[in-house]
Amino acid sequence: MLETLSANEIVSSIYRKEITPEEVVSYYLDRINKFNPILNAIVSLKKEDMIIEEAKSLTQTETNQDMLLFGLPLAIKDLFDVKGLPTSYGLPLYKSNIAKKNSILVDRLIKHGAIIIGKTNIPELAIGSHTTNKLYGVTANVYDQSKTAGGSSGGAATAVAASLVPFADGSDMMGSCRNPAAYANLYGYRPTPGLIPEDRNMKIDEKFPLLSTPGCIARTPNDLALLLDAISGVHASDPYSFDPPSSFRKSHISDDEFLKIRVGWLGDLNKQYTFEDGILNMCENVLKRLDEDFLSVNQETSIINTSDLWHSWTTLRAKNNYLHLEEANLQEHPDLGFGAQWELEKGKELKTEDLKVAFSQREECKKIADQMFGKYDFLVMPSAQVFPFEKDKDYPKKISDKNMDSYHRWMEVVTFSSLLGLPSISVPVGFSKSGLPMGMQIIGKKGYDLNVVAFAKKYEEIFNHSANRPNGF
């Protein structure tokens, strides 16, 4: 029965006493026991008797129906602290790094009645878009277990797609919610930084624009909205945090409003980006349907210089990553993987003048983005430049005939919204001829998160991509 219900419907059924939290938890634990050995999405799983006891304690407690996630079992990305569980960051060095308190996000989930059952797998230090590490191994794609789940929230995406959890938190610096969602036929959201508060190192974070943010992944935008209402809003410990103007569950675009929406299709940015065959066509087919039957879609001949965009992004990201690794005393650690080593080597060499150039390039990109948002309500780009690749590869070394010059160049398409702090949701666009999923990014103005989620709700109403479930799961 539960497989046909949304997260909100499960919670409502619990409140109506049609089902108990114990039954909900048992359902998901059965699926974890059956499928997680194949997928390796969830790590640091609590003992089952402890999880069941937590569910029983909820049943026995007088509850306030303002608890949006009451009785839902959730697994937390292995970047965020859960008291009593290890926060490993995918590193053997931190295998026994037991958290002494919860992160802000986890506290909010628990406050709303969620039952934390374990962690979701990530790449080492959440660096890179392929979920594999030396501690827990590789997470498989639910649509083809020989392929990558993407990353860095790959464990989260696979867990949601296989219905091991109803939805999941994530984080997104360089597509880390959008890429794995695209690879799993899901909705993956990178909000405006600050919408979801987080624990910050202010000595470092004050030096840069907010490059990373917590995010979330769900089967539908309505489920996403429920989770966002539970975890969004101002927190005293995060000076960048802010409240959304209203509820994500109530965000809505009427049919008449939808007809007036203007969408700018950025595509390959005037052939500046290279894509695996089929990706652009899949996105364009979806946009053609929208343009013919609903809203207005136009090809945007943007003048964004992607070389400047890439230089600005990689400079600010590398310096930011270097400072965080230095703070953790990991800057000289010999066992760090190629992604971390790349960031360390680049970040270490950067000078004040390099950062000035990067900030200047960012400002130029922002001016162009503002011009485009003068014409369009939303901008659209693919969510990835390649389909899910073999999971035993480190990363794609080539797209078509173009060599990739870094471990993350193949994900360059996500940097536009990341650099400028724009809310961006990956929505499904279908499957390749070989059955692999893909998505495209719907990008909104900074702070217009309610609009982006409302658009995604309307999109799902039209295309119903959530009905396409992976075979065997």
- Residue 182 confidence (pLDDT): 98
- Residue 380 confidence (pLDDT): 98
215 within 8 A of 176, measured Cβ to Cβ: yes
Please determine, for residue 314, whether its predicted confidence score (pLDDT) is greater than 70: yes
Side chain identity, residue 174:
M
For residue 101, the 8-state DSSP code is S
- With H, G, I as helix, E, B as strand and everything else as coil, classify residue 442: strand
- Residue 63 confidence (pLDDT): 67
- With H, G, I as helix, E, B as strand and everything else as coil, classify residue 275: coil
202 within 8 A of 196, measured Cβ to Cβ: no
A 10 A CB-CB count for 305 gives: 16
- Residue 62 confidence (pLDDT): 67
- CA angle in degrees (0–180, nearest 5) for 131-273-184: 35
List residues with catalytic annotation.
77, 152, 176
Structure tokens given for 466: 């959530």
Q: Phi and psi of 147, rounded to 5°?
A: -105, 165
CA distance 77 to 122: 7
CA distance 151 to 157: 9
Structure tokens given for 69: 């996630």
Encode pLDDT of 208-246 as tens digits: 999 999 999 999 999 999 999 999 999 999 999 999 999
381 within 8 A of 102, measured Cβ to Cβ: no
What percent of the chain lies above the pLDDT cut of 90? 94
CA distance 259 to 303: 27
Nearest to 466, CA basis, from 207, 16, 161: 161
pLDDT (average), residues 134-151: 98
Side chain identity, residue 265:
W
**pTM of the predicted model as reported, rounded to 2 decimal places:** 0.97
- Mean of all residue pLDDT scores within the chain: 96
Please determine, for residue 65, whether its predicted confidence score (pLDDT) is greater than 90: no
- Residue 90 confidence (pLDDT): 97
Encode pLDDT of 5-34 as tens digits: 999 999 999 999 999 999 999 999 999 999
**Range with the poorest average pLDDT among 59-63, 178-182, 380-384, 390-394:** 59-63
Distance from CA of residue 99 to its chain's centroid? 23
pLDDT (average), residues 301-317: 94
Site of tokens 């769900």: 218
Structure tokens given for 122: 């990530």
Indicate the CATH number for domain 2-467. 3.90.1300.10
pLDDT (average), residues 55-79: 89
Distance from CA of residue 138 to its chain's centroid? 18
Residue 442 vs residues 264, 341, 394, 417, 430: alpha-carbon distances, Å: 10, 32, 28, 10, 15
106 within 8 A of 73, measured Cβ to Cβ: no
93 within 8 A of 335, measured Cβ to Cβ: yes
- With H, G, I as helix, E, B as strand and everything else as coil, classify residue 312: helix
156 within 8 A of 168, measured Cβ to Cβ: yes
- Residue 334 confidence (pLDDT): 82
Give every CB contact of residue 49 below 8 A, 6+ residues apart in sequence.
none
pLDDT (average), residues 139-149: 98
Distance from CA of residue 327 to its chain's centroid? 25
Give every CB contact of residue 443 below 8 A, 6+ residues apart in sequence.
378, 379, 380, 381, 416, 417, 422, 423, 424, 452
